[in-house]
Amino acid sequence: MIFVTGGAGFIGSNFILDWLAKNDEAVVNFDKLTYAGSMNNLVSVSQDPRHIFVQGDIGDKVRVAALFAQYKPRAIIHFAAESHVDRSIHGPAAFIETNVNGTFGLLEAVRAHWASLPDADKVTFRFLHVSTDEVYGTLGTHDAPFTETSQYAPNSPYSASKAASDHLVRSYHHTYGLPTLTTNCSNNYGPYHFPEKLIPLIIANALSGKPLPVYGDGQQVRDWLYVSDHCAAIRRVLEAGVPGEVYNIGGWNEKTNLDVVHVLCDILDRLSPKSAGSYRDQITFVADRLGHDRRYAIDARKIERDLGWKPMETFETGIRKTVQWYLENQAWVADIQSGEYLKWVDQNYSQRQGAIKAMQ
């Protein structure tokens, strides 16, 4: 049994769908169902007995401890976080609460669970912390990509909160010997990406005839990785990563934001042409993000060399699949835009409350 936090979000849900397609082992999916979590991402496994969904907050140590005692997971994969940089600028408190205090509460529950395991299980147990390349700050045009030994220099409340969580995880390995693994990944894209983030927002706005907002001059660079490649990397780190180590994960796909928006418009022009003109006509330059990091790039040679992982998708193949998925799943986006997806929050909450109370 593995225990996933944040499994109703973008990467977490892709991870669970991939995991259940490739393994017999069951997954406990522990998610608060904030605005970013949607049970619509998991409809295809809603009847699968190997997917056990529990709604709750990672900072709730008592609740998490009760679940660990019940399910005895051999590994925790920690995705749960507040993840959107713009939101962290306008309201940082939730980021400190979940990413810092929440991760701390989770680590405390994990430490107690790990200490209670038989010696043989202690050795094989893993806590895998999913983090971001943003903790390393920003790069100049000619700087070498971030490696695992790059200095931490987070620039947004989001990246600072993730950096703090990385340091807590590191300290639990160093101090208590907890078998932790940390991954720092570049920008993901693919199915179930919440339409507040650049790629899904541009696709959704393009199809609804709205402006396509490009921050500042659009020359900021991000290193894009198709989400299923990230999921494969996490599975590989879980399987063969060395406790206490950090692995950078990236797709060697540096693109300016404007280039990404152009590519999206051009694919949409081919797959879903407008009656007149190009989607590029909707591009609108808007005020820049405060403290906007100019460039991220990941040096992924460690995970490639030590664990034999390599991305399967190029940016060209991944972005085509992504646009195709959004064209075929416009109802998924419409449910989010209308707020309909939030109906799950109450249904599941009340169902699960009873089950958890009975367990405690």
Kindly state the helix (H) or strand (E) to which residue 112 belongs, with its residue range. helix 103-115
CA distance 293 to 139: 8
- Pairing between β-strand 187-189 and β-strand 246-249 as defined by DSSP bridges: unpaired
**Known catalytic residue: 143?**
no
Q: 311 exposed, middle or buried (CB, 10 Å; 0-12, 13-18, 19+)? A: buried
Residue 60 or 269: which CB sits closer to ligand NAD? 60
Window of 62-70, 128-136, 172-180, 351-359 that interacts with ligand DAU by CB under 6 A = 128-136
CA distance 85 to 101: 18
Q: For the window 286-305, what string marks contact with ligand DAU as x by the rule CB under 6 A?
A: ---x------x---------
Q: Cα-flanking dihedrals φ and ψ of residue 129, to 5°?
A: -100, 120
Structure-token match 């570049």, residue found:
186
**Known catalytic residue: 35?**
no
Window of 102-110, 131-139, 242-250, 343-351 that interacts with ligand DAU by CB under 6 A = 131-139
Window of 78-86, 108-116, 142-150, 269-277 that interacts with ligand NAD by CB under 6 A = 78-86
Q: Which does 289 bind (CB under 5 to 8 A by kind): ligand DAU, ligand NAD, none?
A: ligand DAU
**Least distance from ligand DAU to the Cβ atom of residue 201, Å:** 5
If binding is defined by CB under 6 A, does position 40 make contact with ligand DAU?
no
By CB under 6 A, name the one of 130, 198, 199, 303 that touches ligand NAD. 130
Annotated active-site residue in 71, 136, 158, 189:
158
As a whole number of angstroms, the longest Cα–Cα distance in the chain is 68
Q: Is 325 within 8 Å of 318 (Cβ atoms)?
A: no
Considering only residues 200-229, where is the footprint of ligand NAD by CB under 6 A?
none
Q: Is 26 within 8 Å of 51 (Cβ atoms)?
A: yes
**Can you point out the beta strands (E) in 95-138?**
126-132
Shortest CA distance to 34 belongs to which of 15, 56, 12, 17? 56
If binding is defined by CB under 6 A, does position 87 make contact with ligand DAU?
no
Considering only residues 92-121, where is the footprint of ligand NAD by CB under 6 A?
98, 102
Catalytic residues: 133-134, 158
Query: For binding to ligand NAD (CB under 6 A), which residues are involved?
Result: 5-6, 8-12, 31-34, 36-37, 57-59, 79-81, 83, 98, 102, 130, 132, 162, 185, 187-188, 194
